[in-house]
Chain A
Amino acid sequence: MTAMSLGTNTAISLRGIKLQHDKFTLGPLHCEIPRGMVTAIVGPNGSGKSTLFRAILGLEPLQSGEIEVLGSKIDFGEDDSYKARIGFLAENPHAHENSFTADEKAQFASHWYPGWDWERYRKLLRHFDVDGSVKLSKLSKGMRRKVELAITLAHDPELLLLDEPSSGLDPFAWKTMLEELQRYLEPGDRTLILATHILEEIRRLADYILFLNRGKILGLYEKDRLLDDWRTIVVQQHEAKGFGNEALQRTPGLQGLAEAGPGVYRLEVNEPEQGEAYCRSNGFQVLAVQRMELEDILSCLIRKEEAKR
């Protein structure tokens, strides 16, 4: 992935951006989000996911730094033609749109986006099984979500930003959404960035994971590398050697260590082979080696970050 830093392969560059709300600071953030890929933004509530989306859309004044989206620098109010190439689904529906029907909102969107395609819009509504002539305020949360998704996708944007897209969707609609997103990504040059708490969405869709915590980036990782590298190792100390875990503190790639029983330790490592070999050569018996779940990797990263504070 050496080409990642080249301009053409980057969808969004965050260059030291920083912004502040009452009690919340986002940044400084440095990050290049790759083009043609799916990046999942993952982090606890209040970590700054939605604020980051708003910043990318030029809706948040920056204190410092700059953002480049699809090759254009955001210059706040000057030239926002780049926005026509973006599809954005906000976390919550807009109350001022309550009295519109889906078709009326689509009518409005069709003027704004040169790439708008009515046929695609109607196909999406049909696939999501929603009626476009009903007022948005009369739709259930999930139904309204489906309408918003259809409108967001109908102009086949180069860059798609989805903030908690599946909130309110039933499992069937959720499956339809995954199918539509897969179809959207099929040409291979589309970029999807989604903020989500749904791990299954990350497993199925994401190529990269951006971990965010308290307005700071904990890391941008290639998903499969993360899952390949992070493992839990459970070891047992031979009784004759007495108890103590000093030696384990020096395990290569150690990220977390806990006692799981008398003489039994649970290690979290990101250099599994070296870690395992080290434990064996220091007189520990390896009872189990397992891949870690994403949420456990994130907790581990957060724990390390919090320890620095």
Chain B
Amino acid sequence: MWLPIRIDEQRPEPLYHQIEVQLRGLILGGQLAEGTLLPSIRELAVSLKCSAITVRRVYQDLENEGLIRTRQGTGTFVAGVELVAKDEHRLERAAEELERAVDEALRLQCTPEELKTIFERIIRGKTEEHKGEIR
């Protein structure tokens, strides 16, 4: 099975960290449903061009977090994730994205008042655009 994980050679974070963050994101974000069979350690290592040691470490960490589980002889599966955890992750991810946008705006010397005005205008516009998609 193919996973949409991309290693960015230029990022300073170590390879295992990059893979772990993305795989955790795929599980908490719901892209990988409970019970999904994950690639074997060797399969993922070959496809990401990293070592089996790195993948084993990622799987071990995520298993300790309760996000995946290994069944002897059958493979590694996505575990059931509580809705609370998914919700927390959703808000964390949204906050990260917003932070990035705010950083950029501050670099452009926007004041907090200007930012709030822009933010509310965008929210109003987007709510119209995405009517029906938003819960």
Contact = CB atoms under 8 A, between A and B. Distances in A.
B12 interface: yes
Interface string A253-278: 00000000000000000001100000
Nearest to B49: A203
Interface string B1-41: 00000000110101110000000000000000000000011
Contacts, number: 47
B51 interface: yes
A174 B114 CA distance: 59
Interface in A215-250: 222-224, 227-228
Contact of A207 (B10, B16, B40, B51): B51
Contact of A291 (B9, B16, B54): B9
B126 interface: no
Interface residue range, chain B? 10 to 19
B102 interface: no
B106 interface: no
Interface residue range, chain A? 20 to 34
A86 interface: no
B16 A188 contact: no
A289 B53 contact: no
B61 interface: no
Interface in B62-78: none
Nearest to B19: A224
B12 A204 contact: no
A147 interface: no
Interface of B: 9-10, 12, 14-16, 40-43, 45-46, 49-54
22 contacts: A1-B53, A38-B52, A178-B46, A182-B46, A188-B41, A204-B49, A207-B51, A207-B52, A222-B53, A223-B50, A223-B51, A224-B14, A224-B15, A224-B16, A224-B53, A224-B54, A273-B12, A289-B12, A290-B9, A290-B10, A291-B9, A291-B10
